[in-house]
């Protein structure tokens, strides 16, 4: 970062921070397949050749965290990610895998494209997609009367496949809580773009986002979303400084 | 290659329309029968039940562990994705891998029960048993005010897909373990 008071993240700093966070995401996601016993095989583990692929991703993630061979490891992580996309005929874990692949793609382009301009363009695209991800999620909820009334969130708890325990289904019987929670989520997601205009509001919004994703992980089992989305935060932190400069010059 | 490009484009240009509409939710249920004769289905030895039913509660320690390491829940969520593909495509080719993946899980679960209990409540080995699974969609009944039908909890269940049955002996038997088949969630 440049200076201890400005809290502006340089492009190089944003790249490095992204490498660390997406490296951690890779380790987390892939370790579940290397060490987990959730597969429908005799041992409960992945078939040998795919376990080797996941072990390679764990290694790539560790190297990225420590800043070793990052250009090569990013490409390896992206290539194995595409292989897994084909294996599962789509993302294994939905939005988390999509965001991780998007981060790896933009990171690889930023690392390998010639010249800073193209690298910054690729990395800026990631920042824009992160903002859109929150705003669009909020918009589709705002225009749905079931979300405005809290009924949609009640349905998520009442009969969707997401709640991690049957005890959580009791939350579907609390209409006031559901309506407040729904408007809290809608408000946060729609207001997210406005947080870019100052550094404190941006960092505050990112902190709230971390809490939001962690809550989803605890309640709905979506643990991969936490690091997947967090790995895109440095890109926005860096990019928002350019946005503020543009708006202040208008 | 074209298939991979088709899968990769939504990554580059995502829609981000999370939970825009809460669709009916699929549940995977399975049963075990004695092998039938002449193409007929045999008698039920294990009635229809949900594959990997959700636990009643999750402790704080387990919840915190799952923040970092959560293979079983993530695999269950992938099975939901497989079920959704079957609902959309039925027995058409795009859902073939999804059907095989669900069948493998059912076979593994039942195979463990046979290996650990010496049978599924009766003295049967895998050679004489067949398995079958179905997809049941769960949705809110009517307008949710209790007057639109549905069961006691205001939900309606509709079977939308049923697989052909297959012999359990066609899958390798898992090693004997000291875990009941419904102890899936305690293995994290």
Q: Report whether pLDDT(B119) > 70.
A: no
Q: Report whether pLDDT(B171) > 90.
A: no
Shortest CA distance from A226: residue in chain B: B67
Confidence at residue A125, expressed as pLDDT on a 0 to 100 scale: 96
Provide, as residue numbers in chain A, all residues whose Cβ is less than 8 Å from the Cβ of B57: 165-167
Mean pLDDT (whole number) for A127-153? 96
Confidence at residue B172, expressed as pLDDT on a 0 to 100 scale: 46
Which of A32, A146, A155 has its CB closest to that of B69?
A32
A128 with A98: CB under 8 angstroms?
Answer: no
Q: Report whether pLDDT(B29) > 50.
A: yes
Q: Report whether pLDDT(B26) > 70.
A: yes
Q: What percent of chain B has pLDDT over 90?
A: 42
Task: Pick the range with the lowest mean pLDDT from A115-129, A207-221, B94-108.
Answer: B94-108
**What are the tokens at A13?**
């700093």
Confidence at residue A45, expressed as pLDDT on a 0 to 100 scale: 79
Provide, as residue numbers in chain B, all residues whose Cβ is less than 8 Å from the Cβ of A133: 14, 16
B149 pLDDT band, cuts 50/70/90, is low
Task: Pick the range with the lowest mean pLDDT from A72-76, A129-133, A181-185, A199-203.
Answer: A199-203
Q: What percent of chain A has pLDDT over 90?
A: 84
How many cross-chain Cβ pairs, A to B, lie less than 8 Å apart?
163
Q: What are phi and psi of A44, to 5 degrees?
A: 85, -5
Q: A159 and B71 in contact by Cβ < 8 A? A: no
Interchain contact A133–B (C-beta under 8 A): yes
3-state per-residue secondary structure call for B135-162: EEEEEECCCCCCCCCCCCCCEEEEEEEE
Rounded Cα distance between B157 and A228, Å, is 34
B89 pLDDT band, cuts 50/70/90, is confident
Confidence at residue B121, expressed as pLDDT on a 0 to 100 scale: 46
Is pLDDT larger for residue A92 or for residue B154? A92
Provide, as residue numbers in chain B, all residues whose Cβ is less than 8 Å from the Cβ of A141: 19-20
Confidence at residue B182, expressed as pLDDT on a 0 to 100 scale: 35
Q: A90 and B81 in contact by Cβ < 8 A? A: yes
Q: What are phi and psi of B47, to 5 degrees?
A: -65, 170
Q: What percent of chain B has pLDDT over 70?
A: 75
B116 pLDDT band, cuts 50/70/90, is low
Mean pLDDT (whole number) for A84-107? 95
Mean pLDDT (whole number) for A21-50? 88
Characterise B119 by phi-psi region: left (phi > 0), alpha (psi -120 to 50), beta (else). left
Q: Report whether pLDDT(B39) > 70.
A: no
Contacts of A242 (CB under 8 A, 6+ apart): A124
Confidence at residue B188, expressed as pLDDT on a 0 to 100 scale: 36
**Overall size of chain A counted in residues:** 250
Interchain contact A174–B (C-beta under 8 A): no
Is pLDDT larger for residue B87 or for residue B121? B87
Read off the pLDDT of residues B63-85 as tens digits, 9 standing for 90 and up: 999 999 999 999 999 999 999 99
Check residue B13 and report its DSSP letter.
S
Confidence at residue B173, expressed as pLDDT on a 0 to 100 scale: 44
Confidence at residue B117, expressed as pLDDT on a 0 to 100 scale: 58
Interchain contact A145–B (C-beta under 8 A): no
Q: Report whether pLDDT(A206) > 50.
A: yes
Q: Report whether pLDDT(A217) > 50.
A: yes
Closest to B128 in 3D by CA, of B119, B115, B116: B119
Mean pLDDT (whole number) for A185-213? 95
Give me the residues of A, 46-85, that contact B with CB < 8 A.
82, 85
Average pLDDT, chain A: 92
Provide, as residue numbers in chain A, all residues whose Cβ is less than 8 Å from the Cβ of B97: 89
Rounded Cα distance between A120 and B66, Å, is 36
Confidence at residue A28, expressed as pLDDT on a 0 to 100 scale: 97
A232 pLDDT band, cuts 50/70/90, is very high
Q: Report whether pLDDT(A166) > 80.
A: yes
Is pLDDT larger for residue A38 or for residue A87? A87
Task: Pick the range with the lowest mean pLDDT from A10-19, A41-50, A88-97, B144-153.
Answer: B144-153
Is pLDDT larger for residue A38 or for residue A83? A83
Mutation to test the B interface, candidates A26, A28, A32, most B Cβ within 10 Å? A32
Mean pLDDT (whole number) for A46-68? 94
Helices A175-191 and A116-142, packing angle to 10 deg: 150
A92 pLDDT band, cuts 50/70/90, is very high
């Amino acid at each position: 970062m440049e200076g201890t008071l400005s809290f502006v993240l340089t492009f190089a700093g944003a790249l490095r921070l992204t490498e660390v966070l997406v490296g951690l995401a890779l380790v987390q996601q892939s370790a579940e397949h290397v060490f987990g016993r959730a597969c429908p095989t005799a041992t409960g583990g992945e078939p040998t050749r795919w376990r080797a692929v996941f072990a390679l991703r764990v290694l790539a993630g560790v190297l990225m965290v420590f800043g070793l061979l990052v250009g090569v490891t990013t490409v390896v992580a992206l290539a194995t990610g595409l292989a897994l996309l084909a294996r599962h005929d789509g993302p294994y874990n939905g939005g988390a895998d999509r965001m991780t692949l998007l981060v790896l793609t933009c990171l690889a382009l930023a690392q390998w494209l010639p010249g800073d301009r193209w690298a910054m363009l690729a990395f800026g695209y990631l920042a824009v997609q992160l903002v859109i991800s929150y705003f669009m999620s909020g918009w589709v909820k705002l225009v749905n009367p079931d979300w405005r009334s809290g009924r949609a969130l009640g349905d998520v708890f009442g009969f969707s496949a997401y709640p991690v325990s049957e005890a959580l289904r009791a939350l579907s019987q609390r209409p006031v809580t559901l309506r407040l929670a729904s408007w809290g989520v809608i408000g946060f997601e729609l207001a997210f773009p406005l947080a870019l205009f100052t550094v404190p509001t941006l960092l505050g919004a990112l902190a709230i986002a971390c809490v939001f994703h962690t809550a989803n992980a605890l309640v709905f089992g979506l643990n991969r979303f936490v690091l997947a989305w967090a790995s895109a935060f440095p890109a926005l932190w860096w990019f928002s400084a350019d946005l503020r400069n543009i708006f202040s010059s208008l | 290659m074209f298939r991979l490009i088709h899968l990769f484009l939504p990554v580059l240009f995502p829609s981000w329309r999370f939970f825009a509409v809460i669709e009916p939710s699929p549940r995977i249920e399975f049963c075990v029968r004695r092998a039938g004769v002449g193409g007929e289905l045999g008698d039920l030895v294990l009635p229809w039940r949900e594959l990997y039913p959700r636990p009643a509660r999750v402790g704080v320690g387990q919840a915190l562990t799952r923040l970092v390491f959560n293979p079983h829940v993530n695999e269950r969520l992938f099975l939901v994705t497989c079920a959704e593909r079957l609902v959309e495509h039925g027995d058409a080719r795009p859902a073939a891998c999804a059907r095989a993946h669900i069948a493998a899980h059912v076979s593994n679960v039942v195979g463990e029960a046979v290996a650990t209990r010496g049978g599924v409540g009766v003295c049967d080995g895998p050679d004489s048993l067949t398995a079958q699974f179905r997809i049941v969609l769960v949705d809110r009944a009517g307008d949710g005010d209790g007057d639109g039908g549905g069961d006691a909890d205001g939900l309606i269940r509709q079977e939308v897909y049923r697989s052909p049955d297959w012999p359990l002996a066609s899958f390798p038997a898992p090693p004997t373990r000291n875990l009941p088949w419904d102890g899936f969630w305690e293995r994290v």
